[in-house]
Structure formats: structure tokens, C-alpha cells
Chains A and B, each alone.
Chain A
Amino acid sequence: MIEIRELSKRYGERVALDRINLSVPSGAIFGLVGPRGAGKTTLLKILATLIAPDEGDVFIAGLPIVGEGLLRVRQWVGYLPEDFGVYPDQTCAEYVEFFAACYDVPSKERAALVADLLQLVDLYHRKDTPADRLTPSMRHRLGIARVLAHDPRVLLLDEMTKALDPRARVEARELLKELSGMGKTILITSSNLAEVQDVCTHAAIMQAGRIVQAGSLDEVLAATPPYRTIVIKFLGDAKLAANLIKAGKGVVEVQPLAEPGASSDALVGVALLKELRVTFDGAYADASVLLRSLMHSGVQVVAFAEES
């Protein structure tokens, strides 16, 4: 369904993508995994026709994504950015209907389509709620409804599960399986393979603008050290803690827990409890060293546990 050949993209001196070759089979749920800055979003934006590549060729359903094929490709592709906005003056139903109109869905079909899509993402009961008043998790579901408005064959989902709470992540995985069952090819990015390996049929590991491993999920898992997520709760200087953790052996990425309410600044007594999620591929001994270095540096570690 997607063929990428020798694709390169530079931003000034910085190489974002370096001669990428990738093939995504039709009907696959393809996980594109790598740390921040690996080039995942750039690749997705090129596939979404938002950025022109410097070199190389990209074909979606056999159509080149540049030149005259551009609008045809857009009919085939739906793109959900990691961070996207909504119009404050629109309700959820109006938001989806607006994008359906932008994709030229006939007006007489739109009302039924909007109802179907909002039901699919479990937001029908919120159809008249202003879109900007939704929780981040609901907003992402609305984004998925928007992406599906023109019934694309290919879905490009950038860090889709990142903004979701644990329950919503499980629901999102179920939704991905449902969409795959509808015959859609899905390309999903994540900084953590563990996050997407439950749903993916194929995967690729990206690092510094290159594909270092690609193939079926089993092939990639066999060739890749297993990523784990360690959740660290602590009191004290969050910046210091984050820097110490980043310097630790086996640490791939550090990020604050994103879901508001359970996030980095929950009040506990008078002190602020901070919480970081660490993507980790080191040994248990490395994790132990990491914990020790935090405690020796005065960070009051409250919890240090591997996420199941």
C-alpha cells in the first residue's frame, strides 16, 4: 500500500530523513517506533503530503504523492497529528461535518456519516458539546472521527496513544483493531514499541532519520532489545531528576506523564509529587544504578516501578 524509496529530507544542515526505504503492506497496522527526533513525524508529514521530500519517491496505492497525484493521494490518506486543534466555535458534530465537507462528502450524506463516526469513537452523546471543551482523550477520539470522515484507506496516526489515559489507550487499541478489520492500512508512530506491539502486525525502528530495523512484528521484536517503561514518582527538582535519568545507561526517552489530573504536578500534602515515564532498554542492573544515582543526588524517590 505504501512504498518509500530512498527518501531524504533535510532542514538546513540537519538531516531529518536519510535515504529511507520502507514498504507497508495493505491492511497492516504498522508501528513506526523511535525516540524523539528520529524523523517519525517528518516521515508521516511527507506521507500526508504536507511536506515535500528533498529526494526519493513515495507511492501510496501506486500513486506518487507529488504533482498531479497529490489530491488523489489525499483522498486515500487520513492524518492525525500528535497535537492538533479544534475550532472553538464548533460543536463535535459540526467539526466532523466541516471536514467531511472539505473532503467533498455530499451534503445529504453528511448527517448520517457524522452520527456513524461519533458513535464509532463513542462521542455521539457529546455531539452538541463545543469541541474545545473536550478532555484531551475525547479530543483525540474526535480527531479519529475527523480522520475517518472521507473514509481513507490509509491512516497516519502520530503518537496517537501518548495523550491518552490508560483506559483510553486500551480503547484506542481496540479501535485500531476495528479499523484494521475494516480494511484500512494503519501507520502509527510511538516512542515505545511496547505501547504499540499489542496491535501492530508490522513495525520499523527509526533512529536519527534512518530505519534500523523493519519487518513483521515478530522479526522486529526478535532483533530489538525489549523496551520497558519505568514510572518514577518523586519529590524535588524535576529538571535535575530528568537530567540524571537522561544520562542513565539504557534510557531511551524521558517524558512527564501526560494525562492531566494524574500528571506531573499532583499535590500530595504540601509537596508536589512529580511523575516521569522512562522508556528503558537496559538491564536490571542499569535500572538499579539509575535509582541509586537519583537517591544520592537528593531526589526523594517515592516509587520506581516497571509499567506492566
Chain B
Amino acid sequence: MRPFLPKLSSLQSPFRVSPITSKELAGRMRSARAYTVLTVYLAIVSGLAVLLYMVSSLGSPRAVGGSSAVGTVVFYFLVGMQVLLVSFVTPAFTVGAISSERENKTLDVLRMTLLTPAQIVWAKLISALGFTLLLLFATLPLFSLAFLLGGVEPFELIIALCVVFASALMYTLLGLYVSSRSRTTAGATTATYAIVLGIVLGIPLAALIGSSTVSIALSSTGGGPWPLLADLFDVVLTVAISLSPISAIVASQRFFGLTGDLWTFTPSFSGVGTWLTLPSPFLILTGVYLVASVILYVLAVRRVANIEQG
């Protein structure tokens, strides 16, 4: 055996691929599961897209604008599938990232290496995002069908890209953070999916119920006495809608259709108030998700640094 004294510099280089990323990607791509996930996902999405195209084509007259309506339908279907992918499949790549190291009793020896907790979490994030990006990019050829048929505006593409990529980052980091807190992968999985379900479906549902109730209450009083309350209600509801990727895309597209302004809109769910101007829901989602991602990353790093494995 030759004597060896490593230097500290090269592991700290941001341009170097971490050994953890290499190991995780190699492990993932070596198993049949990765190819099965990719194949099944593409088969389902392309099958449904073709079916949707055929059904929409039957209903649309072969006149000017007919194919563009079909293109819009296909585009939103594909975006919806991407959103479901990043919301419900992406966390699965990270829920076991740290907890499985604890379960396998490999975390202590990993933490003892020259890799810092920040590098460990970053490497896990990159390997999970790498596979998510593979799944996202694999569906790009299907989008060409929508663009071929027309009807998709550039703003719709901007909205979709922002929401999908911000969601991919946030939900990956959510899984990673919950994983760093959980003793078992099963516990991390349950907790992560409960949170994701709450964000993606629970918040818009609560917003819908809340908006109906409050707008009835405000309109019954004429709204006059409480314009500030109405403003607050508009803001809360807008943020609530914006937190779910599905409702953020639908709302952004709808508000743009109504006002022609991609970046801002003036909500008035209550029908009263002072008509505040707010950023478009997709911008709120992107901003909130990016900030949440940074917070989750920092918390996960701190957690990994302080884990005392039994």
C-alpha cells in the first residue's frame, strides 16, 4: 500500500461530480426499475395524449382554429402530467436518501469522510433531480405534437416551465428534508406524501371552500364596511391558489386570458375591496417554491450535520 495524503481542495470544487451522485445515478440506472419507470411513464403519457388527440379531433371541426384547440388541450394535458410527475413521483427519489442511510447504518461512515453535510445533501439532490430531468426531457417529443397543432402561446410555455421546474426542485428537497428527519424510509414516505397531497390538492380545495363561504358573507353585508378584510381575503386566496402547481397554472392562464397581462393581475374574489395588483399565481409559486427550496436545503444540511446515529 502506498502512503497517501489527500488534499482538501478538489472535493470542494463545485465542478466536480460528487462520488455520491455517481454512485446513486449508477445504482439507479443499473437497476431495471429506472427503465421500467421511464417506459411505463412514457407509455401512459403518450397513450393518453394520443387518445386525447383523437377524442379532441372528433369533436373539433376541420376549420380554422380547430386543430389549435386540440393542440391547446394536448399541451395542457402534457403539462398536467409533468406537474403530477414532479409532485408525486419526484419525492419518491429522495424520501429514502438520508433515512435509508440510517437504516443501512452507512450514514456514520459517510459523514466521517471528507464530504461535508452540505456536499452530501447537494449530491443526493443532484442525483434525484438528474433522474427527474430525464423523465421530464423524455416527454419533450410529445410536446411537439401540441406545437405542431398550434394554439400554444409562448406565455403558456413560460408559465408551464416555471411551475414544473420550481415544483421539481421544491418537492425533491421536501423529500430530502423529511428523509433527514425520519428514522425510517416508510415514515419519511408517509409524511412526504401527506404534505404533497396537502399542498397540491388540499390547499386549492380549502381555498375553493373558503372563497365560497367568505364571498357569500362579504356580499351579504355589501362588503362596504370591511374593504381591508376583502383585500386580505383576496391576497390569502391568491397565495393559496398559487401554492398548488395545478391551480397556479390554471389561474395564471385564466387571468392572462382575461387581462392580457402575463406578470400581474388584480384579484377580486370577494367582489369588493380596493383592487390590489398582485403578481401572477405562477410567479408567486415560483418565488415561494424557490425560497422554500433554499430553506429546506439549509434545514436538511443542518439535520445531517447533527444526526447522532444510534
Contact = CB atoms under 8 A, between A and B. Distances in A.
Interface of A: 45, 48-51, 71-72, 74-75, 77, 79, 81, 83-90, 94, 98-99, 101-105, 109, 113, 116-117, 120, 146, 148, 150-151, 182
A72 B114 CA distance: 9
Complex A-B, nearest 8 residue pairs according to Cβ-Cβ distance, in ascending order: A101-B19, A102-B113, A85-B104, A85-B105, A89-B27, A104-B6, A151-B4, A85-B106
Nearest to A151: B4
Interface stretch (B7-15, B142-150, B226-234): B7-15
B58 interface: no
Contact of A102 (B104, B105, B115, B308): B115
Nearest to A42: B308
Interface centre among B4, B22, B31, B115 (most CB of A within 10 A): B4
B305 to A, nearest CB: 10
A71 to B, nearest CB: 6
B5 interface: yes
A49 B309 CA distance: 13
Contacts of A86: 104, 106
Given A75-B5, A102-B19, A104-B6, A49 B27 contact: no
B3 interface: yes
Contacts of A116: 1-2
B11 to A, nearest CB: 5
A117 B30 contact: no
B298 to A, nearest CB: 19
Contacts of B108: 45, 48, 50, 79, 81, 84
A103 B113 contact: yes
Contact of A151 (B3, B30, B110): B3
Given A103-B6, A103-B113, 9 more contacts: A49-B112, A75-B8, A79-B108, A102-B110, A104-B7, A113-B2, A113-B4, A116-B1, A148-B1
Contact of B113 (A74, A87, A89, A90): A74
Interface residues of B, number: 31
B1 A109 contact: no
A81 B23 contact: no
Given A90-B23, A182-B1, A150 B6 contact: yes
A184 B111 CA distance: 22
A74 B27 CA distance: 27
A71 B109 CA distance: 14
Given A86-B106, A117-B1, A75 B23 contact: no
B4 A105 contact: yes
Interface string B101-135: 00011101111111110000000000000000000
B114 A104 contact: yes
B4 A87 contact: no
B29 to A, nearest CB: 11
Contacts of B116: 71
B171 to A, nearest CB: 24
Contact of B23 (A51, A87, A103): A87
A50 B111 CA distance: 7
Contacts of B1: 113, 116-117, 120, 148, 151, 182
A87 B22 CA distance: 14
A200 B52 CA distance: 75
Contacts of B106: 84-87
27 contacts: A45-B308, A48-B108, A50-B308, A51-B308, A75-B114, A79-B108, A81-B105, A83-B105, A84-B106, A87-B23, A88-B104, A89-B30, A90-B23, A98-B19, A101-B19, A102-B19, A102-B20, A103-B6, A103-B113, A104-B6, A105-B4, A105-B6, A113-B1, A113-B2, A151-B1, A151-B3, A151-B4
A113 B114 CA distance: 18
Interface centre among A72, A103, A105 (most CB of B within 10 A): A103
B10 to A, nearest CB: 6
A51 B309 CA distance: 10
Contacts of A90: 23, 27
Interface in B1-47: 1-8, 10-11, 19-20, 22-23, 27, 30-31
Contacts of A74: 112-114
B196 to A, nearest CB: 26
Contact of A79 (B4, B20, B112): B112
Nearest to A112: B2
Contacts of B3: 151
Nearest to A52: B306
A150 B20 CA distance: 17
Nearest to B115: A102
A120 B10 CA distance: 28
Contacts of A87: 23, 27, 104, 106
Contacts of B31: 89
Contacts of A104: 6-8, 10-11, 114
B109 A81 contact: yes
A81 B107 CA distance: 11
A146 B109 contact: yes
